[in-house]
Amino acid sequence: MPELPEVETIRHDLDREISGRKIKLVEVTGTRSVRRGTKKQFIERLQGTKITGAKRRGKFLLITLDSKEWLVVHLRMSGQLLLAPAKEAKPKHTHVVITFQQGGQMRFVDPRTFGELFVVSPDSLATEAPELTELGFDPVDDPISWIKFGHLLLAKRMRLKEFLTDQSIVAGIGNIYSDEILHAAGLRYDRTSDSLSPQEMRRLYRSMVEVLNEAIKARGSSLADEQYVDVHGKVGAFQEQHQVYAREGLPCARCRATIERTKWQGRSTFYCPQCQV
DNA sequence: CGATCTACCTGATGGC
DNA sequence: TGCCATCAGGTAGATC
C-alpha cells in the first residue's frame, strides 16, 4: 500500500499526536505481525516506555521511545496504523493494540499480514535490522545534489523504474510514484539509467523531489479500495493528481496520447507512449 | 554475481 | 447467484 508520501503523512500525524504518551498496555494477537523475536520480548520492551517522536526512513516508520529504542513499523501492502478511543470497536484484522496511559489506542490493522512491527536498539541495527542500514538516500528528508544523483544513475546500468524502486539506492519509492515520477520527467520506465543526458538526469531528479513533495501536501494517494488511510482513517487526495497510474486508456494530460498499461517485472506499469521517451 | 520466479496473505472485481 | 481467475501500494528468498 503505502509509499514514502503515505508513510510521511502517518509519521507527521503520529509525531504530533502521540509524542509524550506513555504505553500502558501492548496486546499482540495473531502470529505474523510481530515475527522478529518473541511476542513477550516485544511487549516487555514497549510497556512502560514513553513515546518521544516519530521518524521515517524510506517506507519504515520509527517511533522513538524514552528507553532510546525504536518501535519500527513497516506497513508493506495493506498495513494501517489507526488512532482511536479504546472503547471504539476494533476493525477486522487488528493484530496489535497499544493502549496509552493518557487514554486512546494505536492499532495496527493489516488484512494481508505482510506488515511488520519490531523493537530495536539503534545501536545494534546492523545485526537486529540490517535492512534499515541498507537503505539509500531519502529523496524528501535527505535529498542529495542532482549531480550526485547523476553519478548514481551512471554507475548503475538499470532500467529507470528498477532504479527508482530499489530501496538501497533511493528509499521510499514504489509502484505508484515511480510511474508518476517518470511521467513527470518525460522518461520511459525501461530507459537504462546510464543512457540519460545531463538534462534528463536533472529533470528526473527534479520530478522525483517535486512529485513526492506534492503527494505529501495532498496527504498521499488512496486507490479505489481505500486501503491507504491516515491515522484517523481518512483517505489521501493525491490520486486526483495522478497523471498515469491506473489511468490506462485515458488521454495524457500533456500530449493527449492514450496512456498505456503493461506488465513489467511482475508489476503493472503505466506510461504515456508518446511523451515519455 | 544478476535476473527471474515465487511465496507470503486477504479481499475486491470481473468474466462466464 | 456462484465459481474461478486475476489483481493489489512490498519485499525476501530460492533458483537458475
pLDDT tens-digit map of A20-53: 999 999 999 989 999 999 999 999 999 999 999 9
Which residues of A have a catalytic role annotated?
Answer: 2-3, 59, 267
Closest CA to A48 of A76, A28, A69: A69
Task: Please give the Cα distance from A141 to A270 (Å, whole number).
Answer: 27
Q: Is A225's pLDDT higher than 90? A: no
Cα–Cα distance for residue pair A268/A247, rounded to 1 Å: 11
Report field, pTM of the whole predicted structure over 0.95: yes
Q: Is A192 helix (H, G, I), strand (E, B) or coil?
A: strand
Asked whether residue A101 carries a pLDDT value surpassing 90, the answer given is yes
Q: Which residue is closest to B9 in terms of CA–C1' distance?
A: A112
Q: How far apart, in whole angstroms, are the C-alpha atoms of residue A175 and residue A111?
A: 20
> Rounded to whole angstroms, what are the CA distances from A170 to A88, A93, A167, A173?
39, 31, 5, 7
Q: Cα A174 to chain center, whole Å?
A: 8
Kindly report, residue by residue over A115-163, the tens digit of the pLDDT: 999 999 999 998 899 999 999 999 999 889 999 999 999 998 899 999 9
CA pair distance A133, A111, nearest whole angstrom: 28
For residues A69, A63, A108, A268, the Cα torsion angle rounded to the nearest 10 degrees is -120
Whether the beta carbon of A79 falls within 7 A of nucleic chain C: the reply is: no
* Residues 48-107 (A) near nucleic chain B, CB < 7 A: 77-78, 92-93
Q: Could you tell me what percent of chain A has a pLDDT over 70?
A: 100
Residue whose CA lies closest to nucleotide B13 C1': A225
| Start-end of H helices in A19-145 | 39-46, 125-128, 130-133
The CA distance from A52 to A66, in Å, is: 6
Please, are residues A93 and A79 in contact by the beta-carbon 8 Å criterion?
Answer: no
Question: What pLDDT score was predicted for residue A248?
Answer: 93
Mean per-residue pLDDT, A106-111? 97
Is residue A113's beta carbon less than 7 angstroms from any atom in nucleic acid strand B? yes
Judge if the beta carbon of A139 is closer than 7 A to nucleic acid strand C: no
Top pLDDT among A59 and A126 is at A59
Q: Is the dihedral of CA A145, A148, A154, A160 positive or negative?
A: negative
The pLDDT value given to residue A226: 85
A263: CB within 7 A of chain B nucleic strand? no
The gap between A134 CA and C16 C1' (Å) is 26
